[in-house]
Chains A and B, each alone.
With several copies, the nearest count.
Chain A
Amino acid sequence: MAVLNDEQQMLKDMAAEWVRDRMPITALRSLYDHGGGGRSDAIGYDPECWAEMAAMGWTGIIVPEAHGGSDFGYQSLGLILEELGRTLAASPLLSSALGAVTALRLGGDAVQQERWLPGLADGSAIGTIAFEEGAHFAPERIATSATLSGDQWIVNGRKHPVQDGMAANIFIASARTSGQPGDRDGLTLFVIDADAAGLTRDPLDQIDARRPAALTLKDVTIASDRVLGEVGKGADLIDAIVDRAAVGMAAEMLGASAQAFDTTMDYLKTRVQFGAIIGSFQALQHRAADLFGELQLTQSAVEDALIAIDDDAADISALASLAKATAGETLHRISAQMVQLHGGIGMTHEHDAGLYLKRARVAEQCYGSTAWHRDRWARLNGY
């Protein structure tokens, strides 16, 4: 991994230890029912663990010190997300401590930051971003409308899927204040409370046992001081937030890939077939070596992107797309090979391989799919 400073190394070690103790893969299992789907009463995360994360300061890692955070930077947050990814730990950390906090850092004015960041930093509030309105990530193709009525905005529409939407009490949601679906102009971001009148949310039962939500907004009234950034000019802000959320997700995916790979290597070293440890078969050895190479590319791309964000570099978008697409492809392959190389047992719900496979496909779609980020990288690089 990248060369870490002492602070980062400590944080990483602590995260690794805590995740191993408190959120091993068995913790995720408690969100699944015995038939392999999500438990109908599950909320998609463990509030007790969330409180512990907050107590360790993880929720405030990119929050400025003035607002109750430690301002350690995205690299540090990435290290934690990577460790959480190893055990597929389900928590709103990415949605809230990265997504919502980033939106306020980049788009909020001083008053707005002081109003919301302290709560997000200490974990008493859970935020998430709500930009999507359909099967595919396309932040400009939205129809949710916000119209000005006196000093207030009236918002109508549906946002889905909203990651950790059942856990959140603050939504950073996009709506169209002018223009047509597809236009970059006319997008505006609003901070909306979960208990706002006219807002309802329904859980989505997803294969990874998380609980994203579908939000329905019916004549929701929003005060004008809840607009983040400039009215109608939200497209660049949305891009910047999505860049960072995608890199955070890529960090989680890097951790999941690394653990799926490690678990599979352990199996190759112990399972015996045809009188030999199967890890001694050259065809499997070469497949493992190739996957290890992919894992190296992923780690480098993720770390480069995290560093670029902390450095406020000019090419964050291209590096974010590189990180997300590379992590997407690697986790895709490794999770599929995790099932394949475990053979029959890997097909059972009882084994962890399926959990990695399912989370992989969800993560691949989040904040822009692998295909979307490849296409964006291509566009940014003149292909």
Chain B
Amino acid sequence: MVESEASEDRDFRLEARAWLKANFPASLTNVPGLLFQGDRHAAEANADYQLWRARMTDKGWGVPTWEPRYGGAGLSATQAKIIGEELTAIGGFNPIRSYGTMMLGPTLLEYGDEAQKLEHLPWIASHERRWCQGFSEPGAGSDLASLQMRCTDMGDHWLVSGQKIWTSGADQADWCFALVRTDTSRKQGGISFLLIDMQSEGIEARPIVLISGSTHFCEVFFNDVKVPKGNLVGQVNHGWSIAKRLLQFERNSLSEVKADITPLAPMAHDYLGTDALGRIDSPDLRARMVRNGMRHAAYMATVRRFAQEAKNGGPSHGVSTLKNLWSGIIQERGELLIELMGANGLGWSGDAYAEAEREATRAWLHSKAFSIYGGSYEVQNNITAKHTLGLPG
């Protein structure tokens, strides 16, 4: 892609390359980007991380396409892409990337009023205000629109009561963007989009222990929480279309996630041995690993193809398809990895299991969520069937 680049883009690439080289702390090379709120303390403990964040904040390159008054650098999409490519090339990451930059920011830019943008975007752009997403409720999982959390107009403020669940990092978040029910007589048409300060009185966030041991998700209880009138985004009862747009941003960001994968073959030879013909010495397991490996290769080619088509204005209907392919392939890979580790893939803690083994086991357990969260396998297939394939309701 570089060779055909316009000369002004080429100039910008060289400039970006030079600035990143000068400013990205070498100690952070190939450190995975920190996405979740739960990583906050770890990040805060790291001086180089703090430095890197401060430099990127000043430069506005965490959200390069946002206007400077919102904390961005006012760059073009092409320039933003160049920054990303150059960052990847040196093993760097964007320290500003968060739910705020990926989901709420783009949503506010489209639906927020100027006061809301000025109030929130700069803090997102500096990674100083962390957001959590208050969408799911105990009775409203895949069927999000059946949510019940009440939001009553009290004249000079909103009064919010109810419960959210699966709220990522709610116990670490500063603010929450939530879907609330402002009209009980309609389903989708009675939902509003509200910004809630997590420090407000009446909010309690309780971490949920997952099967992998992670406590990243929370239940959040709202008990007569007062929210300023100006915190409602868009029109009252028009929150559903804002949420759908935000979920689109979420899906796009999910499909961006590089399924960065170590090949299983070398590990399999280590754990299972090699037969007289040079093959992994476990025919049945080997056959399944080969198929998974091939599916993964074809999947990565599909991610590249979809990205290129999207860049050229092609249809972007494939997100649901991509997500189901991805979750299926990655879940299967997680299963194969612990299976090839045998008894060593079954440990929870202790020195009897290598750290990589314990991590693989937790990652396998965690991967079961991939086909549930962010639109379950079933919901994605419903979307593909109806919207992409045009099958009748």
Consider the complex of A and B and state whether they touch directly, i.e. have CB atoms less than 8 Å apart. Answer: yes
A residues lining the B interface (CB < 8 Å): 1-3, 34-38, 132, 134-137, 160-161, 202-208, 214, 265, 268-269, 272-275, 277, 279-286, 288-290, 292-293, 296-301, 303-304, 322, 325-326, 332, 336, 339-340, 343-344, 346-350, 353-354, 357-358, 361-362, 364-365, 369-372, 374-375, 377-378, 381-383
Q: How far is the CB of A148 from chain B (nearest CB, A)?
A: 30
Q: In chain B between 178 and 214, which residues have their CB closer than 8 angstroms to a CB of chain A?
A: 208-213
Q: How far is the CB of B318 from chain A (nearest CB, A)?
A: 7
Residues of A within 8 A of B345 (CB): 135, 361
**A365 B389 Cβ-Cβ under 8 A:** no
Please report the C-alpha to C-alpha distance between residue A378 and residue B143 in the assembled complex, in whole angstroms: 42
**B372 A301 Cβ-Cβ under 8 A:** no
Please report the C-alpha to C-alpha distance between residue A365 and residue B299 in the assembled complex, in whole angstroms: 24
The contact sample of 9 A-B pairs, CB cut-off 8 A, is A207-B346, A280-B391, A285-B382, A300-B304, A300-B305, A326-B294, A326-B298, A364-B339, A382-B269
Residues of B within 8 A of A322 (CB): 294, 297-298
Q: In chain B between 261 and 302, which residues have their CB closer than 8 angstroms to a CB of chain A?
A: 263, 265-266, 268-269, 271-272, 279-280, 282-286, 288-291, 293-295, 297-299, 301-302
Residues of B within 8 A of A382 (CB): 263, 265-266, 269
Residues of A within 8 A of B106 (CB): none
Please report the C-alpha to C-alpha distance between residue A192 and residue B63 in the assembled complex, in whole angstroms: 65
**A205 B141 Cβ-Cβ under 8 A:** no
Q: B373 contacts the other chain (Cβ, under 8 Å)?
A: yes
Q: A293-B321, A297-B325, A347-B369 are in contact. Are A36 and B392 (CB under 8 A)?
A: no
- B106-145 CB mask vs A (1 if < 8 Å, else 0) is 0000000000000000000000000000001001011100
Q: How far is the CB of B74 from chain A (nearest CB, A)?
A: 29
**A293 B368 Cβ-Cβ under 8 A:** no
In the complex, besides A202-B352, A369-B342, A370-B284, 13 extra interface pairs with C-beta distance below 8 angstroms are A3-B308, A35-B209, A36-B210, A135-B344, A205-B347, A207-B347, A288-B384, A292-B321, A301-B297, A340-B372, A344-B373, A374-B290, A383-B290
Q: B343 contacts the other chain (Cβ, under 8 Å)?
A: yes
Q: B348 contacts the other chain (Cβ, under 8 Å)?
A: yes
Point out the residue from A136, A204, A206, A289 that lies within 8 Å of B324, measured CB to CB.
A289
Residues of B within 8 A of A35 (CB): 209, 213
**Chain A, residue nearest B298 (CB):** A297
Residues of B within 8 A of A361 (CB): 338-339, 345-346
Please report the C-alpha to C-alpha distance between residue A245 and residue B252 in the assembled complex, in whole angstroms: 37
**A300 B301 Cβ-Cβ under 8 A:** yes
Please report the C-alpha to C-alpha distance between residue A364 and residue B309 in the assembled complex, in whole angstroms: 29
Point out the residue from A36, A284, A286, A290 that lies within 8 Å of B212, measured CB to CB.
A36
Please report the C-alpha to C-alpha distance between residue A268 and residue B361 in the assembled complex, in whole angstroms: 28
Point out the residue from B271, B286, B348, B350 that lies within 8 Å of A378, measured CB to CB.
B286
> 4 closest pairs, A vs B, by CB?
A354-B211, A285-B385, A135-B342, A300-B301
Please report the C-alpha to C-alpha distance between residue A207 and residue B361 in the assembled complex, in whole angstroms: 9
**A348 B301 Cβ-Cβ under 8 A:** no
Residues of B within 8 A of A304 (CB): 301
Q: How far is the CB of B386 from chain A (nearest CB, A)?
A: 8
**B268 A383 Cβ-Cβ under 8 A:** yes
Residues of A within 8 A of B141 (CB): 273, 343-344
Point out the residue from A272, A288, A383 that lies within 8 Å of B293, measured CB to CB.
A383
Q: How far is the CB of B2 from chain A (nearest CB, A)?
A: 15
**A340 B371 Cβ-Cβ under 8 A:** yes
